[in-house]
Amino acid sequence: MFEINPSGEIITLVDIDREEVAMYTLLVKVTDSTVNPRSTLTNVTVTINDINDNTPQFVGGAVLTGVPVEISEVRKNMQH
C-alpha cells in the first residue's frame, strides 16, 4: 500500500479513499549506511485528506430553493 522511495518520500502504491480509512500508522525502520550501521524504529502517521470524489445525490427528488435579492446584490457589488 505504501512505499518509501530512495529520497525518503512515502508514496502510495494503490488508490486510497478517505471514506474507507482516514489515517494509517506505519512502523518505519531507518538504517544508516555506515560501516557499523545503526537503526531505529519510529511510527509515522499518514492522514488522508478528503477530495470531492463522489457525485452529489439529492435524496427525495428535486430541490427547489431561492436566493434573497439582498444577497444577490452583495455578490454583484463584490465583483466590481
Summarised one tens digit per residue, pLDDT across range 22-58 is: 999 999 998 998 999 999 999 999 999 888 777 777 7
Distance CA 36, CA 29 (A): 16
Asked if residues 42 and 25 have their Cβ atoms less than 8 Å apart, the reply is: no
At residue 74 the predicted structure's pLDDT band, cuts being 50, 70 and 90, is low
**Number of domains forming the structure of the chain:** 1
Q: Is residue 2 part of a domain?
A: yes
Joined together, the cell numbers standing for residue 71 give 444577497
Q: What pLDDT score does 73 carry?
A: 60
Q: Is residue 5 part of a domain?
A: yes
Q: Is residue 74 part of a domain?
A: no
Q: Is residue 66 part of a domain?
A: no
Q: Is residue 17 part of a domain?
A: yes
* pTM of the complete model beyond 0.75: no
Q: Is residue 80 part of a domain?
A: no
Domain encompassing residue 42: 1-50
**How are the residues of the chain apportioned to helix, strand and coil, as percentages rounded to the nearest 5?**
10, 30, 60
Q: What pLDDT score does 13 carry?
A: 94
